Structure 1
Amino acid sequence: MTLSKPKQVIFNKAQEYCEQKGVRFTPLRASVYRILLQEDASIGAYDLLDKLRNTEDNAKPPTVYRALDFFLELGLVHKVESNNTFKACHHFGCSHPVQFLICDECGDVQEIQSQGVKETLEAQAKENAFTILTQTIEAHGICKNCQDKAA
């Protein structure tokens, strides 16, 4: 399974990040992460399992879920809550709010960082004596490619 050069750079950084954290980036985890990096859309656990079975004949659902839990804990993957899928994070190693633009036509998922969203949300939470532990914002719509195809 070959990755494009930019995605291979991300893969290598993820591998190094795991080494720095003292956790194992096993061959099986590497296979799962490669699949996640290859996808433009987010991917569900069972679709991920189907793709993994192309190289790992005996892969089972717990195998995929353990790998996903591992990546989620390290911040290498985000969960797209609205459709229960997963997307590789390209700027891991830092705590950051997650914002997604999700195309309802092709399934493409773009992670973005909108200026002021985090600060506005935190200010409103503070006004309501609320402590935010995590923040994920998902916006559903139609991407430019799908809009162009429809035109």
Structure 2
Amino acid sequence: MTASAPHKHGQHQHRHDARSLVRAVAEVCENRNLRLTPLRLRVLELIAANDKPIKAYDLLDRLKDERAGAAPPTVYRALDFLLENCFIHKLESINAYVSCHHPDEAHQVPFLICDICAGAVEICDSGVAKLLGDQAREHGFRPRAQTLEVHGVCASCDKR
């Protein structure tokens, strides 16, 4: 479950390409004068290479194999940098991270999360985020962030 649904109005289809994503983030960092340290880069590479959302402690376990001094604070600082600059998304309901398909633009997107295989699909439909924001403002609510996560069963798991 790594690609979104077929192209529809306001949506984009994605293929999982870790190398391209990492190159795009490096380019954005260079253009914005952001410091992509070796640790931040490695955390991004690990997230991008994973075909499913990954938890912080799983990232830490992988880093410990490469870096003896890897500790939770170092991983969380790297994750904070990547989140703050919209290079990754945090899936709040499962406390895990996925790479962002559009690292050059800040955006809010809903995710479809499979409760069986833990796969997640980023739905790139600006209309969904706009609708939620508009509805919030109509109720006198000033939104600061959106997290929309829809849980269910993906097509692959549904066929099993």
Give the TM-score normalised by structure 2: 0.84
Asked whether the 8 Å contact 2:24–2:104 carries over to 1, the reply is: no
Q: Which has the higher contact order (CA 8 A, sep 6+)?
A: 2
Asked whether the 8 Å contact 2:108–2:146 carries over to 1, the reply is: yes
Distance 2:125 2:28 in 1: 26
Q: Percent identity?
A: 43
Cα RMSD after superposing both structures: 1.6
Deviations for 1:44-94, whole angstroms, at most 9, x for unmatched residues? 111110111222122111110000000011000111111111111121222
Distance 1:7 1:100 in 2: 19
Structure having the higher helix fraction is 1
Number of paired residues?
145
Q: Indicate yes or no: 2:124 matched with 1:113.
A: yes
Q: Indicate yes or no: 2:30 matched with 1:19.
A: yes
Q: Indicate yes or no: 2:73 matched with 1:74.
A: no
Structure having the higher strand fraction is 1
C-alpha displacement of 1:110:
1.0
Q: Indicate yes or no: 2:114 matched with 1:103.
A: yes
Task: Please list every run of 5 or more consecutive structure 1 residues that lacks an aligned counterpart in the other structure.
Answer: none
Distance 1:81 1:101 in 2: 12
SS in structure 2 at match of 1:53: helix
Give the TM-score normalised by structure 1: 0.89
- Which segment is superposed worse, 62-71 or 96-105? 96-105
Q: Indicate yes or no: 2:132 matched with 1:127.
A: no
Q: Indicate yes or no: 2:76 matched with 1:61.
A: no
